[in-house]
Amino acid sequence: MPRRNTVHEQILPERTLVVDNGAYTIKAGFASPSPITEHCHVIPNCLARERNKKVWVGIEIDGCRDFGEMTFRRPVEKGYLVNWEAEKAIWDSSFLDPKSKLNCNPHETNLVLTEAPNTPVALQTNCDQVVFEEYGFATYSRHIGPSLNAYNDIQHLFGSPARGSNISADPAECLLVIDSGFSHSTVTPLYKGRPIQQAIRRLNVGGKILTNYLKEILSIRHYNLINEEHLVNEAKEKICFVSNQFRGDLERTWQGKVPAQDGKEEKGDEREIVVDYVLPDYNTGTKGHLRPHDPSPAARMKKMSAAANPAGVVEDFMTLGNERFAVPELLFNPMDVGMKEAGLPETVLQSMSGLPQGLWPAMLANIVVVGGNCLMDGFMERL
């Protein structure tokens, strides 16, 4: 009589750690039947070194008060995880530190990890080895980041009633995900939660290029900020917006006003765009902030004096005009800085051209935009 094969059913751990390993930040949290925003934690995905050589790892950077001339080392380059030595130090402090809110025992935890579309096989293999051999997670599932968006309640995002918790969380049938992040921007069509590989398109413009471009502009026009990545990145998030009338806004900042379309009257002026950005003071802990710009000479002299500040401290500031919208314009016209790539709208059309025409209406009716760049004012309207 042949021997029967005994099948042992493996019981999965109850805890599941979901990690979106982005280039600028890690978004991580434990899966929950009723997820809320507080369950997700944002961790800077970098190592930082101060002027006095002190090194900050991951979440520790939130406790830093002096970002002057701080240098950063990021494990993710061009969207791909290439430096596991640095990434492991960040993961250790985030997931293995007893004081961390995400502390867990990997042997009793499932891991869901995201990666960029079209990640090279060698990097995928290296990631798998680290997850199992270095950490030993009980189970492990690796997905491209955009595919997980299909499991959200997509119809609720577009105004339909929210589905109940008793309804199966099936992925959206058709979904077009536009992800504009720190390293790059991607357009990923999904059909029933699976990416359509031949239609995935990538634009090598992200928040990092915008920050570097702004550093160059400010260093030429105002102060030398080439070594102030953190300062310029904060300024970019506060001052930049996407213009829906780029040429018109450019004329306003150069000439002070722009003629109306009928040519009979003038509308708008540069004061709607030009602002003063007060630089942060790391000695007093004052953060950088915007304030209205007054072009009169008397106002400028007052701003430069100690009387402008209640504490009697002289403030350093920059008067910003077309920098505010010329930098984000690279997402839509990379040719402005000589990059031979299509802008984001053209990239979407290129992605659609790789799909059967029968899917076009469903894809264009269900577009989800994610990534830090989409938080800039005017981004959604321009797109």
Q: CA quadruple 65, 74, 148, 376: dihedral positive or negative?
A: positive
Range 250-276 burial, b when 16+ CB lie within 10 A, else e: bbbbeeeebeeeeeeeeebebeebbbb
Tens of pLDDT, residues 166-192: 455 678 888 999 999 999 999 999 998
Comparing CA positions, the residue from 80, 323, 290, 111 lying closest to residue 181 is 80
Q: How confident is the model at residue 44 (pLDDT cuts 50, 70, 90)?
A: very high
How deeply is 21 buried, as exposed, middle or buried, from its count of CB atoms within 10 A (0-12, 13-18, 19+)?
buried
Structure-model confidence comparison of residues 267 and 314, the more confident one? 314
Query: What average pLDDT does the segment 152-175 reach?
Result: 67
Query: What average pLDDT does the segment 358-377 reach?
Result: 90
Give residue 285's pLDDT: 77
Structure-model confidence comparison of residues 268 and 27, the more confident one? 27
Tens of pLDDT, residues 243-293: 888 888 888 877 655 444 444 444 444 557 888 888 888 888 788 888 887
Tens of pLDDT, residues 210-230: 999 999 999 998 988 898 899
pLDDT exceeding 70 applies to what percent of the chain?
A: 84
Structure-model confidence comparison of residues 304 and 95, the more confident one? 95
Q: What 3-state class would DSSP assign to 114?
A: strand
pLDDT exceeding 90 applies to what percent of the chain?
A: 46
